[in-house]
Amino acid sequence: MSTLDTAGGASAATTRSEYASGDLGGKSAGREIKNQIARIVVWGCFLIACVPLVWILGSALVKGGHMLLSPDWWSHSQAGITARRVGGGAVHAIQGSLIQALVTALISVPIGVMTAVYLVEYGRGKLARAVSFMVDILTGVPSIVAALFVYAVWVTTFGFQRVAFAVCLALMLLMVPTIVRSTEEMLKLVPNELREASYALGVPKWKTIFKIVLPTAFSGIVTGILLGLARVMGETAPLLILGPYTKNIATNLFSGNMATLPTMIDRDRTEALQPAIDRVWGAALTLILIILILNLLGRLVAHFSKVRN
């Protein structure tokens, strides 16, 4: 950390002094100096932006890294383990997070992609504008509002229990608009000429969309979905409101509690005991890693499709 801080300070100092000499410099030298200043400013900003990132990653690694090295972490739940005891793992939470993310994606992807197809390929006039406007609004809905909305419908109105599926519904509300927007962007990037080429072969519009347009945009759509999924996996408000924690492994979406990494962090965070604190950091690092992997997967898909084209 300290090396980064001094680097930032040093660049700020150079920036000031070089700016002063830039005013006095000759014509071409002046340009050279301006370029140098811009370079230093950009690098300085970049380094400053990196500080919190490196800090968080570093802390999580230092304080939680050893948890992930234990095989138990990946094979055991917290069943029967009290806050003051060392041991157990995070399988219940990892599995819960993944299940909920997967179910959320299974619901959100068809809705999101089809909405985007409608908006780009068919949408004209009032209905399309209304849909687009509603997607905009949905994009701006804070996660806690989505969670409370689902709570109001699921628990208050229908009288159901707080279960994993309710969490998925709330996450869906957050994920659909991001998928719609990213898919829309990708569909718009598909050149109109390809659609026309397909029409000119006597291919109907819907088939053109499914066989030409969507495959052409496929990698971009997948990237958008993976990035959206990565974002949704870190959401916590719906979990706190709709998905009570359990120390046991659970797979039932419709009854009982299901643990997730954020709720595991939230539970152990309240214990002032070292084993619990270690678990908090371990779970945090695990969550960061999963999200990182999803992000990398997204980038990889984008990269390889570019290579292929």
Binding residues vs other proteins (CB under 8 A): 124, 191, 193-204, 207-208, 211-212, 215-216, 218, 308-309
Q: Radius of gyration over alpha carbons of the chain, in Å?
A: 25
Residue 303, SS3?
helix
Q: What's the rounded Cα separation, in Å, for the pair 25 and 85? A: 68
Q: Which residues contact 201 (CB under 8 A, 6 or more apart)?
A: none
Spacing of C-alpha 226 from chain mean position? 8
- 220 vs 244, which CB is nearer to other proteins? 220
- 199 vs 254, which CB is nearer to other proteins? 199
State in angstroms the smallest separation of the CB of 225 from other proteins: 18
State in angstroms the smallest separation of the CB of 283 from other proteins: 41
- 103 vs 209, which CB is nearer to other proteins? 209
State in angstroms the smallest separation of the CB of 193 from other proteins: 4
State in angstroms the smallest separation of the CB of 182 from other proteins: 19
Q: What's the rounded Cα separation, in Å, for the pair 30 and 13? A: 19
- 221 vs 233, which CB is nearer to other proteins? 221
State in angstroms the smallest separation of the CB of 2 from other proteins: 50
Give, as one character, the DSSP assignment of residue 90: S
Record the tokens describing residue 202, joined without a space.
């006597």
Record the tokens describing residue 137, joined without a space.
């609004």
State in angstroms the smallest separation of the CB of 170 from other proteins: 36
- 74 vs 122, which CB is nearer to other proteins? 122
Q: What is the dihedral of CA 300, 302, 307, 308, to 10 degrees?
A: 110
Count other C-beta atoms under 10 Å from residue 303's C-beta. Answer: 13
Spacing of C-alpha 68 from chain mean position? 22
- 31 vs 211, which CB is nearer to other proteins? 211
